[in-house]
Each structure stands twice: as structure tokens, then as C-alpha cells.
Homo-oligomer: A and B are copies of this chain.
Amino acid sequence: MTDTTTSTGRRTGLDRADMVATALALVESEGPGALTMRRLAAELDVTTNTVYWHVGSRDALITEIIRTSATRLADRAITGATPRERVTAAARHIWDSALENRAITSLAHQTGTTPLLEHHLELALVHEIEAAGLRGDAAALALRSILSTVGGFLVGALRDESSSPAELRPAALWSTTSGDISDETIEALSLPTDHEAVFTTTLDAVVAVHIPA
């Protein structure tokens, strides 16, 4: 940031990269909802038009945020001896990095740019799938199956339950359920979900069906 202030109090020296950087910081610190063109402009001590001049539109800004975020998502080392273990590890990397970057992940999810964000990690996953011997349609099927599984758990794990009224949260829904369900099951459903545990068993099952032992 080599910005300066002119004699008339104007702020200058900012470029597109600065916009994206502070927007990214804003999302990370205060969540996707805080990313407003006016708010970003205020953060940069500039008017909204300056932001528009550099960035074009809100959609373009978000795409750029996701794109630069994607490069920050470090490629993680894949461990494991068997193909199944390695594929599982690659899938878990997606899960882990999404949880470590909740704000950007949900921003990408809201704008439908998730594949852009996770493309690197998906690439690593495909690589392991191919290393396990799958090609073409079979590899595509395995990838999409695993990705959807990961994605499904992410929407559950990333949802902020504290923002919705208590009486219509899943736990509350189940605890008021009467009918032909055993009490112990209802009690188990009234407890908070251990996303990690459920994810692990499900992922293992999905990987096992695609990747030969």
C-alpha cells in the first residue's frame, strides 16, 4: 500500500489489488454480510466510485476475492499408503480448508463460485483418483460424488445456528416430535451434531464405493 494524500485531502495510489486485499480482510474479520461497496470504500477512505473505477462491479470484486483466495489456499501434502487413504486425505483437505476459511467459503457459496475457490484442491483430488486407477467417466463420477458429499456437510457445518430463532432449529424441531420414534433416538437428535464424526464415516463410505481396495 503505497498510498499518499494530496494537498486537497484526496487519497490516491490505490490499485485494484489493494481493493481486493482490504475487501478480503473485511470479509474475514466481519463476515460476508459486511462486504458492501460503501463499507469497503469507507474502509479505504475513498468514495464508492473509486472502488467502481478500479473494480468494475460487486460481482467482479467478489470473483477477484475468490480468485486470490484460491491461490492462498496452500496445496497440502497428501498422506496415506493406500489409494483410498490418499483420496480420503485429498477430500479432507477441502473440508479442512473450508472450515479454516469459513467467511470466504460461505461468500463463495452464496455467489456460486465455490468451484473457483477450491479448484486447486479438487485438482489434487482428481490426481489421487486417477492414481487409484480411474479414468474418464468413472473418475468424473467419483470426483462429483465426493465433492457433493463434502459440500453437503459444509452447508451444515458452516450454517450459523445462532442467527436463527431458537424454536425452529433442528434440535428444537426434533425434541417436540411425538410419534413412533423411540425416545433414545429423539434424545440423540436433540443434541448438537458432531459434524466431524458424521463427515468422517460418510466420506469413508463414499470413497470406498468408488476407489478399489
A binding-site residues for B, Cβ under 8 Å: 63, 109, 112-113, 115-116, 119, 123, 126-127, 130, 134-137, 139-141, 143-145, 148-153, 155-156, 159, 161, 163-164, 168-170, 173, 177, 179-182, 184-185, 187-189, 191, 193, 197-199, 201-202, 204-206, 208-209
- In the complex, A44 Cα to B52 Cα: how many Å? 38
Oligomer: number of copies:
2
Given A204-B209, A208-B205, residue A119 in contact with residue B156 (CB < 8 A): no
- In the complex, A177 Cα to B125 Cα: how many Å? 14
In the complex formed, the residue of B with least CB distance to A119 is: B173
Q: Which residues of B contact A109 (CB under 8 A)?
A: 155
- In the complex, A198 Cα to B209 Cα: how many Å? 12
Establish whether residues A113 and B168, one from each chain, have CB atoms under 8 Å apart when the complex forms.
yes
Establish whether residues B179 and A123, one from each chain, have CB atoms under 8 Å apart when the complex forms.
yes
Interface CB pairs A-B, < 8 A, 26: A112-B159, A112-B164, A115-B168, A119-B173, A123-B177, A123-B179, A123-B181, A126-B181, A126-B185, A130-B182, A134-B185, A136-B187, A136-B188, A143-B189, A144-B156, A145-B205, A148-B153, A148-B199, A148-B202, A149-B206, A150-B152, A151-B155, A152-B152, A152-B153, A201-B209, A204-B209
